Structure 1
Amino acid sequence: MNGPARGLSGVVLSLLLAVAIAVPAEPVIRLEPVAEGVHVHRGGHHSLTSPDRADIANLGVVIGTDCVAVIDTGGSVAVGRALRQAIAGLTSLPVCWVINTHVHFDHVLGNAAFADAQTVFVGHVGLAEAVAASRAFFVEHFTAELGGGKDAAAQVITPSRGVTDTLELPLGGRSLLLKAHPGAHSGQDLTVFDAATGTLFVGDLLFVERVPSLDGSLLGWLALLETLPGVGVVRVVPGHGPASVAGPHEVQRLREYLEGLRDGVRAAIAEGAVAEDAAAGIAAAEATRWVLFPEVHPRNVVRAWMELEWE
């Protein structure tokens, strides 16, 4: 999902978020086993104006013999607490690692539920700065998700450990390989690979069913997709969509959308069009293939336009 307001796309996002949001229901987290010791909660396809917007991202849990790793914590402190409670129903082992795949609210605002002496927060080397830069944005637009109190800013937890290239995290009996990537979906994308089961968590580098949202580099994202799923990968956990997928078909569908976005924006720029006026005709064939297309696609056009107009 999109993060701090930037340029025209940020203005549109801020207007969306300014709509009054009803008080969300108590979140229910269901952890689905996808491999031995690997569980995923599937987020719903809710819009940013839905009272359930905090529960839209897929959240991962990997259980070792010594401790547990959590991959993304959801879009509110309440979702994070519900996730922690669900983990307690699976194992009494402590959570030693919380790994955030990128900065967007639906993946990081549950972090506070795991803030204790036993847990280390890990992310892309650029994530701590990105979260800090987003703190005011989160407090302004996601006050309820942060508990609604005066200490909302303190509920935004930044990682204390950054990944510059790769990093291996031990869980006991298995380890996770973290890899930092150049700008793609966001500016701080991180993947997590469990070699024991061949499970790759890709965060929002892969959207399935729900229309992708662009907040990084369109060209960088397309380049990165050439490397996915990768050698040894049996299943992929996307940031949005089913709990797990095989990977190649879903990556190709995402590539088709992004290529249509790229080609349509380039053509409109060459014709001297204006982004907001051209949006409806760009990648229009994709409209029936993705959930929430009318809400998200126009922002993607503006974001892509900002990148491609200076080629």
Structure 2
Amino acid sequence: MKHPMLLWLAGITLTTFSLNLAAAEKNIHQGIVDNYKAEKVSDHVYVIHGPAGQPNKENQGFINNPGFIVGDSEVAVVDPGSSAAIGRAVLAHIRKVTDKPVTKVFITHIHGDHWLGNQAFKEDNADAKFYASAGMIEDAKQGAGDSWIETMDSMTEKATAGTELVIPTEALTQDQEIKVGNVTVKAHLVEGKAHTSNEVMFEVLEDKLLFTGDTISNARLILMDEGSFPGSVKNAERIAAMDLSTIVPGHGATGDKAIVTAYGDYMNKLYTSVKELREEMEAHEMKPKIAEKIVAYKDWHSMDDTLGKHISLAILEAEQEDF
């Protein structure tokens, strides 16, 4: 008979081996680890700027700008991406910068390319807290979360498979301030719609930096199927009035308020043009005339593919204003 101590040690060894094997089997988006870097954009903030385009098999769903805030004793993540594998890659980049625990994750809105990476941070720290608006949390619980899992699986041809929902539990209030060690993060809930409903922007007070989520995009057009053009203009005006030095958009390069001004100008010119022209011509006839008015933005990514869609959506919104 084997000595009880040997059996106990064998059990420990087997358990450790099983845990290590399970960890090794977890997918990680190695392309993000190898081909991207966490750029330091302010004293406490780093951003991994994602590529342009829609989620697909090649990018494995990585298209947004995951960011992280490093305080003196802990770390917070903003919008960790669209899969567990992407979240694990973001965590790998954090570990290149610091070994401080990731205790908080902030989510800007319901679209899955921004928050399905939550799983990686729950795996890393079971006590981590996940923050979002009350509306986003409710939408996720009512089926939007499951729908986004399916959408990402479909768009990436199963490259995001295995991702599990980790729905935020901490509902934010307007102007709520949350400490990340010695750094203060302030939640700005968006009134009405901009890119979609129930959005939150996150200000890092000490750095005069704002994570805008998809309420602002830099030099690229994004989908507005659930959004509002005048709402986007109003939100851009709100940001422009804030005391900020750095803007981290949901997509595109980090910059200053010029990003906000340009995005708001595009939204305003498109919407006012649609309202002026809709009684005279059909949507497809508007496109060349509106393109002339927004010529400053002609080189923005996906302009050719998306401008017509924006015009059609703007017409629908303008018609709704009439009732």
| Fold match (TM-score > 0.5) | yes
1:25–1:51 Cα contact (<8 Å) kept: no
Give yes or no for the alignment of 1:148 onto 2:161: yes
State the alpha-carbon separation in 1 of the partners of residues 287 and 57 from structure 2. Answer: 24
Aligned pair partner of 2:190 in 171, 181, 202: 181
Cα-to-partner distance string for 1:7-57 (whole Å, 9 max, x where unaligned): xxxxxxxxxxxxxxxxx8743341111112211111111234562162211
State the alpha-carbon separation in 2 of the partners of residues 130 and 105 from structure 1. Answer: 12
2:237–2:264 Cα contact (<8 Å) kept: no
1:236–1:246 Cα contact (<8 Å) kept: yes
State the alpha-carbon separation in 2 of the partners of residues 278 and 111 from structure 1. Answer: 44
Compared CA separation, residues 272 and 283, structure 1 to 2 (3 A): closer
Give yes or no for the alignment of 1:310 onto 2:307: no
2:75–2:104 Cα contact (<8 Å) kept: yes
1:25–1:52 Cα contact (<8 Å) kept: no
Matches within 5 A, 1:243-254: 244-247=254-257, 249-254=258-263
2:187–2:200 Cα contact (<8 Å) kept: yes
Residue identity matched to 1:71: V
2:13 corresponds in structure 1 to none
Residue identity matched to 1:148: A
State the alpha-carbon separation in 2 of the partners of residues 77 and 306 from structure 1. Answer: 36
Cα-to-partner distance string for 1:119-158 (whole Å, 9 max, x where unaligned): 1110122111233332343233212567424xx5xx1222
My pick for the range that moved more, 291-300 or 158-167, is 291-300
State the alpha-carbon separation in 2 of the partners of residues 279 and 41 from structure 1. Answer: 37
| Bigger share in helix | 2
Give yes or no for the alignment of 1:206 onto 2:206: no
- TM-score calculated relative to the size of structure 2: 0.79
Give yes or no for the alignment of 1:217 onto 2:225: no
1:39–1:62 Cα contact (<8 Å) kept: yes
Aligned pair partner of 2:274 in 261, 265, 276: 265
State the alpha-carbon separation in 2 of the partners of residues 256 and 160 from structure 1. Answer: 36
- TM-score calculated relative to the size of structure 1: 0.82
1:269–1:309 Cα contact (<8 Å) kept: no
1:80 corresponds in structure 2 to 87
State the alpha-carbon separation in 2 of the partners of residues 40 and 95 from structure 1. Answer: 15
SS in 2 for 1:121: strand
1:7 corresponds in structure 2 to none
State the alpha-carbon separation in 2 of the partners of residues 53 and 281 from structure 1. Answer: 35
1:101–1:189 Cα contact (<8 Å) kept: yes
How many residue pairs align between the two structures? 280
1:77–1:112 Cα contact (<8 Å) kept: yes
State the alpha-carbon separation in 1 of the partners of residues 159 and 169 from structure 2. Answer: 20
SS in 1 for 2:196: coil
How much is the aligned-residue C-alpha RMSD, in angstroms?
2.3
State the alpha-carbon separation in 2 of the partners of residues 80 and 162 from structure 1. Answer: 21
2:307 corresponds in structure 1 to 297
Cα-to-partner distance string for 1:267-287 (whole Å, 9 max, x where unaligned): 3432363x4x34634632346
SS in 2 for 1:142: helix
Matches within 5 A, 1:113-128: 113-115=120-122, 116-128=125-137
State the alpha-carbon separation in 1 of the partners of residues 228 and 289 from structure 2. Answer: 18
State the alpha-carbon separation in 1 of the partners of residues 62 and 83 from structure 2. Answer: 8
Which structure would you say has the larger RCO, counting Cα contacts within 8 Å and 6 or more residues apart? 1
1:181–1:190 Cα contact (<8 Å) kept: yes
2:70 corresponds in structure 1 to 63
State the Cα distance separating 1:87 from its structure 2 match.
0.7
My pick for the range that moved more, 263-272 or 290-299, is 263-272
Cα-to-partner distance string for 1:246-295 (whole Å, 9 max, x where unaligned): 21x2222112211222023223432363x4x3463463234623111123
2:185–2:204 Cα contact (<8 Å) kept: yes
What runs of 5+ residues in structure 1 fail to find an aligned partner? 1-23
Aligned pair partner of 2:237 in 226, 230, 241: 226
State the Cα distance separating 1:106 from its structure 2 match.
1.7
Residue identity matched to 1:126: G
State the Cα distance separating 1:101 from its structure 2 match.
0.9
My pick for the range that moved more, 278-287 or 31-40, is 278-287
1:177–1:194 Cα contact (<8 Å) kept: yes
State the alpha-carbon separation in 2 of the partners of residues 81 and 232 from structure 1. Answer: 33
SS in 2 for 1:113: helix
